Amino acid sequence: MSLHVLWGFLVAHPTKLINLLALLLTCPGGLLLQNARRRAAVTRERLAVDEGTVETFDQRVPRYYYILGFSCLAMALLLSWFSTWI
């Protein structure tokens, strides 16, 4: 494909490309949220077995995963809404 054809596709269908970008942001966000839930479950299981304290690292990491995951999903939602105005 030549660059001219790619540029023509961009000009002809900008909403599809914006929605593709939103989809590409949604996938890592969902994976981060899934990983945060899995880490929290493992931490709860370890806490129930050991009946001890959990390291602060194990408590902080899921919080950052939640923040990043929801940020990715929010950005994807905003991009998708933006594509409806074009």
pLDDT tens, the chain, 86 aa long: 577 877 777 777 888 888 988 999 999 999 999 998 998 888 778 777 766 666 666 667 778 889 999 999 999 999 999 988 87
Q: Note the pLDDT of residue 58.
A: 61
Under 8 Å between Cβ of 23 and 73: no
pLDDT at residue number 26: 94
Determine the pLDDT at residue 54. 60
Residue with structure tokens 């709860």? 44
Distance of CA 74 to the CA centre of its chain: 9
